[in-house]
Amino acid sequence: MELNPVLNNILMSIYKEAKLKRYEYITPELLLYGILQYEEGKIIIKAVGGNIPSMMDNIEEFFKQQIEIVDVDEPKQSFSFKNIMERAIWHTASAQKDVLDIGDVLVSILD
């Protein structure tokens, strides 16, 4: 199974952001925030009635209040992030798809 190029870009960007901001963990919130940075993610969220600006504001507020800044060399994947990605892979495989994409990850987040 391979990653959709956009999803790959999202994962790379959230890793870089977590490292740059010195987050100890890559979290589901950071993943969702990353998805909301890309047009493909915005289209899906809007299609199901999501309010992108409100979601972005809420996630940014979460980062300010809940994410601890630490001195680490590399951010780790949180258990919840790993769980989401594993469920997304399972979802993709059960749908007999060869490519994991943003939609699969969003389904997993909502699961």
CB-based contacts of 111, cutoff 8 Å, min separation 6: 87, 91
Architecture label for domain 2-110:
Orthogonal Bundle (1.10)
Mean pLDDT score across all residues of the chain: 94
Predicted TM-score of the model (pTM): 0.92
Q: How does residue 18 score in pLDDT terms, banded at 50, 70 and 90?
A: very high
Q: Where are the domains of the chain?
A: 2-110
Q: What is the pLDDT of residue 68?
A: 84
Share of residues in the chain with pLDDT > 90 (%): 90
